């Protein structure tokens, strides 16, 4: 909430107040006007996506421009979902993103708990090390990461030395590999758990609870808001990733939505109504997730103590 409208400490003179009131109102409506214009420009691609995705290919190409689809067609969606196999891509994206977000939330909580609440030698060193990995861009690690995934010993037809087969390439495990834990998640959960009073676990410890029980029964339930935040952030992050699915999958049936989207354009002729239907299928889930959980998204900024 803005507090700029709170009453001033000393009442201003009447003339002063009138001047401020006059200066305030037009500027606010000007601001709202500018914001509305900006919002329209910002929403335009989404709006145009929906309108295009409900037209026939011929309607898309009419000159002059046909603004409103007439008649409304759901056929482009059917073609994207069934014909272009977006049902499979959506399933793949759902599996990988859900698995990644769940595992990441659990492991981040466990490590965050350890780094925030347990006392042991080397704690600060480990924490600094984990934080420093935030600086490594994926682009520097993804070539060897690809090779590690391809050469996983004893998996995907590989021998003990990782030769002979294709390892985890073209599998869900391979798609998941770089997204299992994030340093950001550990940092987020650690910051969140630092805020709990110490009496919580002291009381449990006196009662003889194990460290894992304290984590499972006390810390995890208390951290639910931070866990939801992390889950949503990581889910959308993995859902939207393009580079890694691009290098780690070969077969069409293992594609995720962004990868499917990137291949949807024809080399000579593009059916834009179907492309926009595919785009809608890929963006609507994250938009819904964001709108429902928007306070959780914005909370991450507060928890990590951005100042």
Partner 1 sequence: MVSLSVRLQRLRYRQAFWAWVFLSPGLVYFAIFLILPVLASVYISFTNWDILTPPRWVGMANYTELLQNSTIQRAILNTFYYAAVTIPVTIALGLLLALALNRAFFGRTFFRIIYYLPVVISAAATALLWMWIFQSQVGLLNHLLAWAGLPKQSWLVSPLYAMPVIMWTGIWQSLGWSVVVFLAGLQNISEMYYEAAKIDGADSGQLFRYITWPLLAPTTLFVLVILIIGSLQVFGTVLIMTDGGPLNSTTVIVHQVYINAFQYLRMGYGSALGIILFLFILLLALTNLRLFGSSTAH
Among residue numbers 148 through 207, which ones bind partner 1 (CB under 8 A)?
Answer: 148, 177-178, 180-181, 183, 186, 205
Instruction: Tell me which of 89, 231, 239, 244 binds partner 1, using CB under 8 A.
Output: 239
Residue with Cβ nearer partner 1 (121 or 207): 121
Out of 78, 224, 287, 292, name the contact with partner 1 by CB under 8 A.
287
Q: Which of 14, 21, 63, 160 binds partner 1 (CB under 8 A)?
A: 63
Nearer to partner 1, 64 or 197 (CB): 64
Own/partner pairs, 169-172, CB within 8 angstroms, 24+ separation: 169/248, 169/249, 169/250, 170/248, 170/249, 170/250, 170/251, 170/254, 171/254, 172/92, 172/95, 172/96, 172/99, 172/254
Exactly one of 158, 218, 241, 274 binds partner 1 (CB under 8 A); which one? Answer: 241
| First CA to last CA distance, the chain | 18
For partner 1, which residue of 230, 258, 274, 296 counts as binding (CB under 8 A)?
Answer: 258
Which of residues 90, 92, 171, 282 is near partner 1 by CB under 8 A? 282
Q: Annotate each residue in 17-56 with x if it binds partner 1 (CB under 8 A) or - if it does not, as one string.
A: -----------x--xx-xx--xx--xxxxx-xx--x----
290 binds partner 1 (CB under 8 A): yes
Residue count, binding to partner 1 (CB under 8 A): 100
141 binds partner 1 (CB under 8 A): yes
DSSP string, 210-260: -HHHIIIIIIHHHTHHHHHHHHHHHHHHHHH--HHHHHH--SGGG--HHHH
Q: How far apart are CA 101 and CA 232, in angstroms?
A: 7
Q: Does 211 bind partner 1 (CB under 8 A)?
A: yes
User: Does the protein bind partner 1 through residue 97 (CB under 8 A)?
Assistant: no
Please tell me whether residue 55 adopts helix, strand or coil conformation: coil
- For residue 187, count other CB atoms closer than 10 A to its CB: 21
- What is the distance between the alpha carbons of residues 180 and 104, in angstroms, rounded to a whole number? 5
């Amino acid at each position: 909430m803005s507090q700029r409208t709170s009453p001033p400490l000393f009442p201003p003179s009447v003339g002063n107040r009138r001047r401020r009131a006059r200066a305030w109102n037009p500027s606010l409506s000007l601001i709202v006007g500018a914001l509305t214009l900006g919002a329209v420009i910002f929403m335009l691609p989404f709006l145009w996506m929906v309108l295009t995705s409900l037209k026939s290919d011929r309607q898309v190409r009419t000159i002059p421009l046909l603004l409103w689809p007439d008649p409304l067609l759901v056929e482009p969606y059917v073609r994207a979902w069934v014909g272009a196999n977006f049902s499979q891509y959506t399933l793949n994206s759902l599996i990988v993103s859900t698995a990644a977000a769940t595992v990441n939330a659990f492991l981040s909580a466990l490590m965050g708990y350890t780094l925030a609440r347990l006392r042991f030698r080397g704690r600060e060193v480990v924490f600094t090390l984990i934080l420093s990995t935030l600086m490594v861009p994926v682009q520097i690690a993804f070539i060897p990461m690809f090779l590690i995934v391809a050469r996983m010993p004893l998996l995907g037809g590989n021998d003990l030395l990782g030769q002979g087969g294709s390892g985890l390439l073209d599998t869900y495990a391979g798609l998941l590999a770089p997204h299992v834990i994030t340093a950001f998640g550990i940092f987020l959960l650690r910051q969140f758990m630092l805020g709990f009073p110490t009496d919580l676990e002291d009381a449990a410890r006196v009662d003889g609870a194990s460290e894992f029980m304290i984590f499972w029964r006390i810390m995890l339930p208390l951290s639910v808001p931070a866990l939801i935040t992390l889950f949503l952030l990581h889910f959308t992050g993995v859902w939207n990733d393009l580079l890694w699915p691009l290098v780690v999958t070969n077969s069409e049936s293992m594609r995720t939505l962004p990868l499917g989207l990137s291949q949807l354009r024809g080399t000579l002729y593009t059916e834009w109504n179907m492309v926009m239907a595919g785009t809608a299928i890929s963006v609507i889930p994250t938009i819904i997730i964001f709108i429902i959980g928007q306070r959780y998204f914005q909370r991450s900024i507060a928890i990590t103590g951005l100042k």
